[in-house]
Amino acid sequence: MTAERDGGPTAHGGVGLRVVKVGGDEILPGPALDSLARWVVRETRAGSPMILVHGGGDEVTELARRLDVPTRKVQGHRVTTPEILPLVEGTLAGVVNLRLVRALEEAGIATVGLSGVSGGMVEAQWAGDPPGSLGFVGWPRRVDPTLLRLLLREGFLPVLAPLARGPSHEVLNVNADPFAAALAAALRADLWLLTDVPGVRGEAGEWLPELPEHVAQELLARGIASDGMVPKLQAALGALSSGVPRVRIGNLPAEGSPEPGKGTWVLRERPVPHAAPDASAGFPPASTIMSLPSQREAGT
């Protein structure tokens, strides 16, 4: 039975499909979330189906603080301990996911809330150096997009929390940027990484409307990209190397504006890798796209 709610997506993978990662103010109650929901309505009514992936790490941190659960970081990455993991699961797959589903349903979009654990959709390997040093944190290894294709074909918009199945079926916490990149690679969809800035900036601080792969690698290697832009560029490079057509990094266009918004398109410079039809898609190991530390991280 096909969902008949006004504004629901109708395409099923491939042409026109986008995987959109959202975070920050856009997943908190308030005007930004309302604007996101209205944007999704406009885009889907215009025939652009999408899948949403959300973060929520700040809310996990705040909940841990209120409950007096200790947290720590290793090399800038928060460790997901056995004590933290239930807070991660409840916040991401529960509070945040339901909040987004409710906002989209109220806006008229037939929505289904999921995580990467649903249907064995996303398998992950232990993250960290050495693997497992970050606790229950994973890196996407393989995606089976069957469930997503089914939901899209039936007219539903999937909203996913970035949790995945580990090697022994444990739940692993995955950074939302590479999680979204892995989904986009499996579906050969465009990847949109929404941020609170207009796009990627170059060495002189100039906005870059287009960014070829080799230039993105240079921005990382020279430390020009910093802070939150580093994982976004790493996720973009991983997605492109897995067959994603292009990646957009930037914020949402202003409501009521005829302009599409700035944003930076990170563009592939190599042929699209071949993928067997209906096969589960693999995602590059973390070591292959996280080996370009900034000068600051490298200590130089």
Instruction: Catalogue the active-site residues.
Output: 21, 24, 57, 177, 232
Neighbour-count burial of 239, counting CB atoms closer than 10 A to its CB (0-12 exposed, 13-18 middle, 19+ buried) = buried
Q: Are 188 and 213 in contact (CB under 8 A)?
A: no
Report CA-CA distances (Å) from 275 to 154, 267, 272, 282, 299. 24, 19, 9, 10, 39
Angstrom distance (rounded) from CA 242 to CA 236: 10
Q: Are 177 and 228 in contact (CB under 8 A)?
A: no
Cβ within 8 Å of residue 42, ≥6 positions away: none
Report CA-CA distances (Å) from 169 to 24, 53, 90, 116, 163. 29, 21, 18, 12, 12
199: left (phi over 0), alpha (psi -120 to 50) or beta: left
Angstrom distance (rounded) from CA 231 to CA 233: 6
Radius of gyration of the chain (CA): 18
Dihedral of the alpha carbons of 42, 242, 218, 288, in degrees to the nearest 10: 130
Enter the tokens of residue 80.
């997901």
85 phi, psi to nearest 5 deg: -55, -45
At 211, which helix (H) or strand (E)? strand 210-212
Give one DSSP letter per residue of 83-111, joined into a string. TTHHHHHIIIIIIIHHHHHHHHHHHT--E
